[in-house]
Structure 1
Amino acid sequence: MKTNSFLCLLLLALLALCDLQAQAVEFGGLDASPMDAAHYPRRAAYQNYLDADDPDRTQKIKVLYSRPNKKDRDVFGGLEPYGQDWRLGANEATEVTFFQAVEIGNVTIPAGVYTMFAQIYPQHWVIKISEQRFIAGAANRDVAKDIVAVTVPTEMVGKVREAFTIGFQEINDNNVNMVFEWDRTRAELPINLSPPQMAGADASPMDLIAYPPMSRLMNFVEEDEMEANAPQVRVVYSRPQMNGREIFGGLLKFGEVWRLGANETTIITFFKDVTIGGKDIRAGNYGLFAKVNEDNWEFILHRNVQSWGNANHDDKDNIVTVKAPTAKAPKTLEALSMTFVKTGDNTVDLAVGWEDTMARLPITVKK
């Protein structure tokens, strides 16, 4: 009997504990301004139903926003006062994800996640995109994090739209409008999906050397000196720096082929026919590599001009290889450096130096 009483008490205690645990969990109800998503392309939202080669599989833009309802209210100029920033929705700030770089208002915006706002007026909106995230609405937001502000006209639509809506209108393969509509007002934000590609400053800047030296400045050469200074050889190359690194035997392993610079293949241009390593070379553009050894370099002249260094290089494109002894540079060279040294009436050395090492490639220019 005592055992049965104990079991009953234990069961009641467990039921009470379960009830307390259930009471500790609170689930939110449906929001009056439910969240929604807008996708571009629209069909990218159900990518798993699309064929592998369907172009709409590639998502470009996604917007997460809340959709307040009009509910017989005056929206613009009433619920949302003119001249103030609006969150372009309700609750949390509207969030836009660009899956690629885009251009808005002549500003290139990198791929990433941003928030959007609109400063509204009767005839136009100023749409703003910000790097600030995880905020509720526009109150106390950091306007210093805005990266673009674009003024777009508004227009009246014929039918009242009860719920705030964001969508997209494709203009062509490279341009799309993000469309905002609520009540009887519509605004469109133009987005360029093919923004200009502008490179920043390179850590290994390009440079060029010319022989004769004045051949790069022909507009400053006296007429009677034109022939003597006519272009014969030019090299365009990138100039990496030591930056505290050991170069030869460290960054550049002995026995390996080096692009003789950085980034794009170093290009040597002969404006006249030349002879290198006993081989006649016709005027034109050529690539230049070097195999770095402990006491010599092997300069490699090749045809693979349109290349990014020596990766996947085919030795069949090589024209001539010249072994040149290395010597100590006159001073430590922080940046890779090249210059031409005249050695005769029609002979010149291409001198290449970096760190404490240099080597020379002899060139004979045919008359």
Structure 2
Amino acid sequence: MVIKKLNTGLLLAFLLVSNVMCAQGSKPSPAATAEGTVNGAKITIKYSSPAVKGRKIWGGLVPYDAVWRAGANEATTFTTDKKIMVEGKALAAGSYSIYAIPGAKSWKIIFNSETGQWGTSHEGVTTRVPEKDVLAVTVSPVKSKTAEEHLKYTVTPKGFELVWENLAVPVAIK
């Protein structure tokens, strides 16, 4: 009798753990990491990668002229192990949340000192605290070479780039 109860308990625990593991593996916006070196600085960008799924992204799902968490789920994080110049402006070594204000012709990329927060509140507003912004730069988006179903960051020898749908947003680093 005791063995039967123990086996039933183990089976239920196994099913619960299996369910949780399967659910985590099939996130609609899975976690991703981009890493690389720019002028000797190791750059790491951790983000969640949403999919287009037939939706209008720019000026639709991601509105123009409003703060966006630059990914899905948790706020996107950017880490550099050395001081760098982003679009000609100094950024100290450390970890930052990246926010963006997309526009049809230009984007503002914001580095914020608070990290680890969920990207939006229950009301759908970003969790960015503007007083914790340490750097903001303006960049110009371009048409991407290929259509990207999932949001993707890449670190290149010239900086980093956000690419999603039909748009690429390069950010220069020296």
Which TM-score tier does this pair reach, normalised by the shorter chain?
A: 0.7 to 0.9
2:123 corresponds to which residue?
none
**Alpha-carbon displacement from aligned partner over 1:189-215 (angstroms, at most 9, x marks no partner):** xxx9xx9876622211111111139xx
From the superposition, tell whether residues 289 and 248 of structure 1 become closer, same or farther in structure 2 (CA, over 3 Å): same
Question: How many matched pairs?
Answer: 162
Unaligned 5+ segments in structure 2 are 121-125
Cross-structure match for 2:4: 126
* SS at 2:67 equivalent: strand
Q: Aligned to 2:131, what secondary structure does the other structure show?
A: helix
1:312 lines up with 2:137 in the alignment: no
Distance 2:77 2:87 in 1: 18
Amino acid at match of 2:5: I
Matched-pair contact (CA < 8 Å) for 2:100–2:108 = yes
Question: Which residue identity is paired with 1:320?
Answer: L
1:303 matched to 2:132? The reply is: no
Which residue number in structure 2 is paired with residue 234 of structure 1? 44
1:205 aligns with 2:36: no
Write the distance in 2 (CA, Å) between the matches of 1:350 and 1:269. 12
Q: Is 1:267 matched with 2:82?
A: no
CA distance in structure 2 between the aligned counterparts of 1:320 and 1:150, rounded to whole angstroms: 53
Q: Which has the higher contact order (CA 8 A, sep 6+)?
A: 2
Cα offset, 1:312, TM superposition: 3.4
Residue 232 to residue 125, structure 1, CA distance change in 2 (3 Å): closer
Alignment match, 1:258: 68
1:54-89 Cα shifts (integer Å, max 9, x gaps)? xxxxxxxxxxxxxxxxxxxxxxxxxxxxxxxxxxxx
Matching residue of 1:279: 89
Change (3 A) 1:337 1:312: closer
Counterpart mapping for 1:21-100 below 5 A: none
| Matched residue type, 1:354 | W
Work out which of the two has the higher radius of gyration on C-alpha atoms and give 1 or 2.
Answer: 1
**Hey, what's the Cα distance between the residues in 2 that align with 1:206 and 1:362?**
24
Q: Residues of 1 paired with 2:141 and 2:24: CA distance?
A: 35
Contiguous gaps of at least 5 residues in structure 1: 1-120, 129-147, 152-191, 214-227, 343-347
* Residues 1:288 and 2:98 aligned together: yes
- The Cα RMSD (Å) is 2.7
The residue number in structure 2 matching 1:324 is 139
SS at match of 1:316: helix
Give me the whole-angstrom Cα distance separating, in 2, the residues matched to 1:326 and 1:237.
Answer: 19
TM norm structure 1: 0.40
Q: Is the 8 A contact 1:296 1:359 kept in 2?
A: no
CA contact (8 A) 1:210 1:231 kept: no
1:243 paired residue number: 53
Give the corresponding residue for 1:149: 8
TM-score by length of 2: 0.81
* C-alpha distance after superposition, 1:197-248 (max 9, x if no partner): 76622211111111139xxxxxxxxxxxxxx9x6621111111101111111
- The amino acid of 2:36's aligned partner reads Y
| Distance in 1, Cα, partners of 2:137 & 2:9 | 59
Q: Does 1:357 align with 2:167?
A: yes
Equivalent residue letter for 2:77 = I
